[in-house]
Each structure stands twice: as C-alpha cells, then as structure tokens.
Amino acid sequence: MNILERYHAMEYGPAPEARNEADAWLAGRDFSKALFIDGAWKAAASGRTFETSEPSSGKLLGKVADAGAADIDVAVQAAAKALPKWSASSGYARAKVLYAIGRAMQRHQRLFAVLESIDNGKPIRESRDIDVPLAIRHFIHHAGWAQTLEKDLPDHKPVGVVGQVIPWNFPLLMLAWKIAPALAAGCTVVLKPAEFTPLTAILFAEICERAGVPKGVVNIVQGGPEAGAAIVNHPGVQKIAFTGSSEVGKIIRKATAGSGKKLSLELGGKSAFIVFEDADLDSAVEGLVDGIWFNQGQVCCAGSRLLVQEGIAEAFIAKVKVRMSRLRVGSPLDKNTDIGPLVDRTQLDRVKGLIAEGAKQGAVCWQPDAALPSSGYYHLPTLATSVSPANILAQEEVFGPVLATMTFRNTEEAIELANNTRYGLAASVWSENVNLALHVAPQLKAGVVWVNGTNMFDAACGFGGYRESGFGREGGREGMFEYLAAKLPIGPAIKPSAPGSAQPVEQADGTAIDRTAKLFIGGKQVRPDGNYSLAVATAKGKLAGEVGLGNRKDIRDAVAAARACKAWPDATAYNRSQVLYYFAENLSGRADEFAARLVQLTGVTAKAAREEVEQSIERLFLYAGLADKFEGRVHQPPARVVTLALHEPVGVVGIVAPDNQPLLNFI
C-alpha cells in the first residue's frame, strides 16, 4: 500500500486517557464513610449505602454512604455552628480560602477530569477542557468577590446556612457554581450531589481539607431523595439552591412556601436554536453540534429545538446529517469520542420512550449508520424532522442526544415558535446580520441568549431562566445576590390588624340609584362573571359601598388581559417613568379624598391617613425616577466575546394588598 492509499484509508484510532491515578484513588477510598460533615468523614447513621456505577460499562465503582434525615440534621448543625465565625471573617480571609481551593483543584485537574468522565460518562475532552477549568475559574473569580463585597455591596449580609442540591449532568461544575458564591458571601453550606455522580464531590471535600477550609463551613452529604427532602425542609437552613428538573423544582417551591427561606431554582429547558437564511451555515452546524450533542444532550440549556428558515432548511439539514455521520460514539476516556454514554439505564430508557412517542405523533427520526459499544448506556445522535410545534419532542425536555427540527418563514414566526414552550432558560440565534440578531434576542423568552454561539459560560456572567426554567442567577454580580440579604433598617413594627371577621353592615339608603359594581380589566370596567357584589364596611361597620365580587374566571380574564398587553413592557423606560409621575401627580391632586377614604375604611387617624397618602406619592416619585436608571451591564469574560446583561420585566405580577396601609402596600 503506497502513501496515497494509506492516506485515503486512514481512520481515527483510539486515544485513551490514562486512568491509573483515578483507579488508585477509587481503590484507596472507603465510600461507606463518604459523608463530609464538620471536617470529618462519617458513615450514615443508618449504615445504609447506595451503589454508583460506570455508565460506559455498568461496572460498580463503589458503595456510597446514603445520608438520612439524622445525618442532614448533624450537617446543618455543623454549618450553623461555623456560620458566626465564617461570616464575621474578613473578605480577605475568605478570599484566601477560595483562592486556595481553586489552586488545589488546579493541581489535581487531570484527576478531577478523569473521575468526572468515569462517573458521569461525558467525553474526557469536555470534562478536561470545559467542566474542570470553569469550576476552577468560579472559585478564583469569587475570591475576588469575597474581598470586594464590603465595598461593592455594603448594605448586604450573608443569608445564613445554605442547603444546596445539584444534578448529575455537571457534578463538579454545579458544585462550583453553588459553593463558590456562597462562601464568598460568608455563608456556610450543606451540599448534596446527585446519587448517580458522587465521586468528584468526595474528591472536592478532600480538597477543602487540604485548602484549609474551616470545619463546618463546607459539608457534603451523599444521598437520594430522602436526604434532599431533609435539606429542603430543615428549619435551620435559610436558603435553598437547587438545580434539577422542573418537576422537583415545583415540589421544592411548595415545600418552602411560607417558610421564609430564600430560594433559587435552575430547572429544565427546551432551548431554541434559530438559524436565519443569512447565517454562516457551516459555523451554525458546528454550533449545533455543541448545542445539542454536548454532554450527550444532557444539558438543561441544550439547543434541542432547531428552527431553520425555510429557504435554507433542506441544505442545512443535509449538512447536519453529514456532520452527525462523523460524530464518534464511544468510551468517554477516548480523546476522539464526541458522544459518550448516558448517565444511567433509566435515562436511556426515558430517551428511547420519548423518541418512540414522538414518532407516533408524526416525527420522522433519523440516525447515522454507526455501531454502538457492546456495553454501557449509549444512544446514537438522533434528528427528528416533520416535527409539529405540539409534538412531544418539541415540548418535553428529552435530556438526551435528540434534536427536533421545525421551519419558519419570517422573523415574527421564528420568535413565536421559539417562545412556544413553558420553559425559558436559553436560546441561540445565528445570523450574519447583527441588527437582526439584536432585534430577535430581546424578544425571546429566555434568560440567556447567545448570538452566533452556544453553551458559552463564565463565572463573571449571570446564568438562569424564568417560566418553568426557574428563577435566580448563577455567576457574576447577579449570582452574589442569591446568597445575600439586605440589611434592613430597624423601625417600629406595623401593628397587625385584628383577626378578620364579617362586620355587620347597615342597610343602604333605599332611595339611592342602584348601579352594578364592576371590575377593572383590560382597561375598561366589566361586570363580574358571577354578577355578584361585595359589601364593603367602614371601620365602624357601616356600609361604605359595594365592589364587584370576582371569581376564578375574572382572575383568568385579568391575567389574560395583562399577558396580552404588549405596549407597557415594550414602552421605553422614559415613557414608563412619565406614567408613574402622572400617577403621583393625580394622587397628589386627590390626596384629601384618598385620606378621607382611608380614615373611613381602616379607622386610622386623619394624620396617619395623610402620611400614608404622602408616602404613596413619594414612593411613586421614587420608582418613576428609577424607571430609566435600571440599566444593564457589559461583561467581558475571558473568551473573546462581549456579554450584554439586560434587564427585562418578570411578566405579570399578582398583588394581594393587606388591610394595614392598603394604599401604600398596593403602590
């Protein structure tokens, strides 16, 4: 065979990453004592363990201590004991600890990467080149925040003991996202990794020992749902930070409602990957590979919905199929592997089930002609075409290497399709027309939008979503607020109102002209759905008047009208400020009338009522002045990109005004 023949016959051979150090580490650990609490290694009080296995082979990696409620209680007590000293330490002292953690992780960078690939199944190129360096970056970045916090945010204090629950798709990176800002803020933590991927968290706990983290500041407990629920429900925890599924996020939100605990949720997603006809198609294809097949598609912000303009759809799909045929599925420790195994058999079965259901609903699924390894939880990259917007593959988070494709005709349709989801985590826009990209990006209902790129993260840039993708931010200045509480001025408490009871209402004057009491919905007065009115009594029990008695249908109509109003969120900040000033101006003109009504309805003195009106006017002036002051920020992460952090409305807000100071509280 001559040189030319050898050139044409060349194929990629295996390029395995050495795992000797990782195997030695695994062999030298007693995972039955894997609970790191108060600076010591402990077994579960119950003696229970759970098994963790290697996704590429199914081989048992170890039996890990399975924490229960009793173990969580000990961990929270340790964190609470360490909190006063840690939170009172100087920013410089905390910065040195965070920096020491980052430097210690750098010294063991290859071990972290190999363990992550063994435990999770992600290709070594991803864990080595993305996950571990970015985790280190978070600790070093937040060392800076620890030292500058007193100057930059002097009116804030640590929120307290933080309970953190992280997922299995990015075990080490999510750990860093959670622990680094918490320690920088002066909080202490109790963190629970996912039971599928406990190993790098155990190694990180060893790093904390070596880096000089004080006992009790970082507590890492392995376990399943029981341990997670115990963290969420523990009364000694002041804040919960959770990354995981939307379904579990809803459970946590219900469990913490009314508890006073601060909460941040980073949940699921169904991100749109929008390709316009003027895009660089080859670059977009490579971006798509990173967007959906990165980490086998097990990414909350995976670009799992491809929206491509009709004029280029056929050519673009052809390029995607060619690129898919060249993706290598295999061992995560092979440096040439593009797609490794899914994390567990249950996840593999779920992906297969969703593909089958999508096909039943009309999707046409295509996979490259490639062989899978004989063992492990592998799945071929899958392209679904002829997908309707209502198809399960277009609506449900698959969390696997599956791409659902749809087409659009114009910009407006692209935006509508992209927003046709209950999620709101991320999106990606591809166009050589910067004006078009900057026009589309702010209209997408997503917390993060990448232009001509995807899955770009940095410790200096906030990441998070809204809708069913959760709330709160990870990273940067925005992320620091999740672990801080405002230092509120101490003043006299508002006197609580007496327990509610129906006041006897005197009969109305029979000679008065009867009018149907109405509600104000959609800019006009409308009759209540039930045509009922509610008598409103004065503080002395006399009839003050009647108001419309709304029901759930009226609430539905009001919410629908609020959602349909585009003029207000699209208005300029200056115009919104003018409206608020106008409110203040008109309230000032009718101050006596409002004060008299407050005296009548609440029974306060005339002076107190007048003060409430004046405070309401002052508050309107304040927010009018702030309306055009909430400007965004420009971040400059290490990568050669520019990040624009823009403020946008959260959406429709429901307000329930109390009996005390009703006007001021409403405003």
Catalytic positions: 266, 300
Exposed/middle/buried for 118, CB within 10 Å: 0-12, 13-18, 19+? buried
- At 528, list the tokens: 């209540």
Contact assessment for residue 589 and residue 613, using Cβ atoms and an 8 Å cutoff: no
Contact assessment for residue 231 and residue 192, using Cβ atoms and an 8 Å cutoff: yes
- C-alpha distances out from residue 222 to 188, 390, 633, Å: 17, 39, 38
Alpha-carbon distance 34 to 494, whole Å? 48
Contact assessment for residue 211 and residue 180, using Cβ atoms and an 8 Å cutoff: no
Exposed/middle/buried for 259, CB within 10 Å: 0-12, 13-18, 19+? middle
3-state secondary structure of 563: helix
3-state secondary structure of 75: helix
Buried b (16+ CB within 10 A) or exposed e, 46-85: eebbbebbbbbbeeebbebbbbbbebbebbbbbbbebbee
For the stretch 9-17, contacts whose Cβ atoms lie closer than 8 Å and that sit 24 or more positions apart, written own/partner, are 12/328, 12/336, 13/336, 14/331, 14/334, 14/336, 15/334, 15/335, 15/336, 16/331, 16/333, 16/334, 16/335, 17/113, 17/114, 17/117, 17/124, 17/128, 17/333, 17/334, 17/335
Alpha-carbon distance 49 to 65, whole Å? 4
Exposed/middle/buried for 105, CB within 10 Å: 0-12, 13-18, 19+? buried
Residues near 493 by beta carbon (within 8 Å), at least 6 away in sequence: none
Type of residue found at 158 = P
Alpha-carbon distance 182 to 160, whole Å? 9
Side-chain-facing half-sphere of 153: CA atoms under 13 Å: 22
- C-alpha distances out from residue 376 to 48, 294, 373, 654, Å: 26, 18, 7, 49
Residue 231's nearest CA partner among 165, 160, 158 is: 165
Alpha-carbon distance 124 to 340, whole Å? 9
Type of residue found at 92 = Y
Alpha-carbon distance 162 to 159, whole Å? 8
Sheet arrangement for strand 40-42: 40-42, 35-37, 218-220, 188-192, 161-165, 239-243, 262-266, 470-471
Residue-wise DSSP of 312-379:
HHHHHHHHHHHHHHTPPB--TTBTT-SB---S-HHHHHHHHHHHHHHHHTT-EEE--S-PPPSSSS--
